[in-house]
A = this chain, B = another copy of it.
Amino acid sequence: MGNETTRREELLIVAARLFSRKGYHATSMQDIADELNILRGSLYHYIESKEGLLYELMELGIQTLMERVRPIVESDLPPDEKLARLIRQHTITIASYPDFMAVFLHELKSLSPPRRERILAYRQEYDHLVRRILAEGVERGVFRPVDVRVVSFALLGMVNWVYQWYSPDGPLSAEEIGTVFANLVLQGLLDRDDT
């Protein structure tokens, strides 16, 4: 019990770190093997190919994100509360798994078309979750009428960008940052009734 990381998980973690720091193509199998103190050929005992490894990391990233956000979208909360929670949760998830998330957000173009399509499908599914909340809010008159597509991109840009600058040593926790974001967006979206 306790330290339950298999050798394979170790490999994934090391690879995610290297891919996120140096980039996929700038990281060699040699680099990964060095960190694990084995020869680079030995990596193929655990993985099918370098690109297969990349795909697995990206899938892990997007799946983690989706697992944590979907319950919020499917809850019975009002749209504004849903949106606030989504923004906070997305921010926290990125800050919790920065390496996996950076790889997921950064290396789409490094995948061959078939695998890229699969990740893109995940991504579109996620986009859809966000847009559903926005559309719901606009429909119910909770949010001002806005271009849902553009606002969803604005929102995703804001939260995804976090991987570029967040540091656990910074002055604010991930949750606090998420709250600032949520306040900003909600204040920007809420329909103030000056009746």
Contact = CB atoms under 8 A, between A and B. Distances in A.
Interface of A: 21-26, 106, 109-110, 144, 146-147, 149-151, 153-162, 164-165, 171-172, 177, 180-181, 183-189, 192
A146 B106 contact: no
Contact of A109 (B21, B172, B184, B187): B21
Contacts of A154: 158, 161, 180-181, 184
What secondary structure prevails in chain A residues at the interface with B?
helix
B150 A172 contact: yes
Most buried by B among A106, A109, A144: A109
Contacts of A172: 147, 150
Q: Which of A155, A157, A189 has the most CB of B within 10 A?
A: A157
A3 to B, nearest CB: 31
Contacts of A21: 109
A23 B109 contact: yes
Contact of A188 (B109, B161, B188): B188
Contacts of A192: 192
Contacts of A155: 158
Contacts of A165: 153
A47 B22 CA distance: 24
Given A153-B161, A154-B180, A187-B188, 7 more contacts: A23-B110, A147-B172, A147-B180, A154-B184, A157-B164, A161-B161, A183-B188
